[in-house]
Amino acid sequence: MQLIWHIYSAIILLHLAGEATSSCSTYCSCKWKNGKQTVECPNRNMSDIPDGLDSETQVLDFSKNRVGKLTKDLFLKKQLINLQRLYMSECRIKAVHRDAFKGLSNLVELDLSRNFIETIPTGAWINCPSVMRLSLNENPITTLKRLAFNHLPYLTALELSNCAVEDMEEDAFLGLHTLERLTIDGNKLQTIPGRKTLPENLKVRLPCHGPLLLVAGNNSTVDRTTGLRWSAKATRSPFN
């Protein structure tokens, strides 16, 4: 009887192992990491996210692949609607469909850095309203338009370093009441317009590799270190 039980247990374990293997692509590593179901497929020269990944996946690292564009309903079709963290840096992304992130209501971290995105995909944010950290570093973005980050009410960290930003409309960050940290160093900005363009008590890393500042108040000033002209009073921050 005991032998039969051991055989039965072995069959069950083999079955479960087979299920786990079948839900992970040959080119990916699927595992529990930091308490989350994680799929890692970096630097595999893939043009698309593999089909059949576990629908309970919470973290997907697909960086350094050759995706090119994020198409309509991409993650919905892949049944990856439980994603909380998505890393797609260096994926040669040029276009983001407004419904690319449809279904990703649990997403809290999104990394699209080091791609070829020229325009902030504002319309796409409506499908991932829970994002708290967004990285768009090193994309050829030239202009931050009004309401560029609309529909991201919980955003606390926004990274826009080393892009090509040279113009910012007055209400570019309107609605980001929870934003705590903004990095915009390494851009071509000379002026930040409007008295309330940046939320008060925001920690900002300036262009030209300038110091970290807290921005508050209403008076125009010029930072002598960076040459950046503010339309709001800038004071030195104790943070480094």
Please report whether residue 162 resides in a domain: no
Tell me if residue 95 falls in helix, strand or coil: strand
Can you tell me the distance from the alpha carbon of 208 to that of 218, in angstroms, rounded to the nearest whole number?
23
Note down the domain range covering 141. Answer: 26-157
Task: For residue 159, report the phi and psi dihedrals to the nearest 5 degrees.
Answer: -115, 120
Write the pLDDT tens digit of every residue in 107-127. 999 999 999 999 999 999 999
Is 2 domain-assigned?
Answer: no
What pLDDT, in 10s, does the model give residues 59-91? 999 999 999 999 999 999 999 999 999 999 999
Mean pLDDT score of the chain, rounded to an integer?
81
pLDDT of residue 62: 98
pLDDT in tens, 130-180: 999 999 999 999 999 999 998 999 999 999 999 999 999 988 998 898 998
Number of domains the chain contains: 1
Asked if residue 54 is part of any domain, the answer here is: yes
d(CA 160, CA 217): 23
The CA-to-CA distance between both ends of the chain, in Å, stands at: 68
CATH of the domain at 147: 3.80.10.10
The pLDDT, as a whole number, for residue 164 is 93
| pLDDT tens digit sequence for 21-50 | 457 878 899 999 999 999 999 999 999 999
More confident: 167 or 2: 167
Residue 16 in domain:
no
